[in-house]
Amino acid sequence: MTLLETRIVPTGEGLLQELYTEQQEQLKAAETGMAGIQKERDAFEVKCMELEAELTAQIQVNKELKKLLVASMGADLQTQLENLAHDRAQLAQEIENTMATLLKERETLERVNIQCDVWRSKFLGSRLQVDELITSRTHLDMLQQESFSALQKLLDERAEIRRHMMKTERLLQYLSSALQRNQSINEESSIKPISNVMTLALLNEQLSSTISSVLLGDVGGHHQGSTAGGPKGFEFVDWTEAEMLAKDIVLNKQPSIKLEQISQQAILQGPVPKVNMTHRYHPHTCYENITINCCDRCTGDIKVV
């Protein structure tokens, strides 16, 4: 169901009265609005005046602060300039002192470099000397070992010779006693008592001479002739192994055969063959690849002593 709204439209004087009332209301509303706007304007004007006064005071304060700042900055800049000038002069003096110190240090460094070169040269020289000394020491150690070995072998050979000569002396004593009956060789001999191998060798020679005189008579001339070059004489008695080694050491030569090689060679080859030797030598001469004149009848090894 739809309700229809109905409105009564005034006519004549009622319409005018209504229009007048509306205009009066609108006028009152406009006056009320104007009064509010006026109040707001007055408030804004008061506020603007306050802000303008505050701005003026702030400007004045800023001017005063600016003056004070300029004055203080000027004094500070002058002080800073003076301090900078003083610092610059001080730095210049320190730079001069540092340059002088650097020059002295450079001279000292050059002297130290020269001393280092000198000591380096001395070190190299001493190192060469040390190397030479080490070489000499090694050579001397080898020579000492070879000498000790040669002496030991000589002592062994001498001990063996002593044993053989003592046996020979006892046999000659028995033989001489048997030939001369009650005569004692020791009573006629001028070598008493036997103190060493030399006296023992002389005693053996005297005993042999006495026995030879008893058995063969006076054979002194024949013995001298044989020694001088007869067919049965000994021109030279071979060196023993130890004597060869000792001779090489005395002549400052490297021994051609070491003791170990000598012992091995003696075991493998048996007795050493007789060799022909010439007694012309020099301790600093090398005898490799030399030519020696020999006859067709020469045999055996040739050794230059």
Per-position DSSP letters for 64-81, written without gaps between them: HHHHHHHHHHHHHHHHHH
Rounded distance between C-alpha atoms, residue 222 and residue 225, angstroms? 5
In sequence order, what are the residues at sequence separation of 6 or more whose Cβ sits closer than 8 angstroms to the Cβ of residue 283?
251, 252, 253
Q: Which residues in the chain show pLDDT less than 70?
A: 1-12, 73-75, 180-194, 217-236, 253-305
pLDDT for 229 equals 43
pLDDT for 75 equals 65
Residue 285: what residue type?
A: T
Residue 91: what residue type?
A: L
pLDDT for 267 equals 53
Given the structure tokens 């054979």, which residue do they identify? 219
Nearest to 269 by CA among 297, 241, 250: 241
Instruction: Quick: pLDDT tens for 272-282.
Output: 444 343 334 44
Give 241: exposed, middle or buried? Use CB within 10 Å, 0-12, 13-18, 19+: buried
pLDDT for 100 equals 93
Instruction: Quick: pLDDT tens for 191-233.
Output: 456 678 888 888 888 888 888 877 776 655 444 444 444 444 5
Rounded distance between C-alpha atoms, residue 132 and residue 83, angstroms? 71
pLDDT for 277 equals 38
pLDDT for 35 equals 85
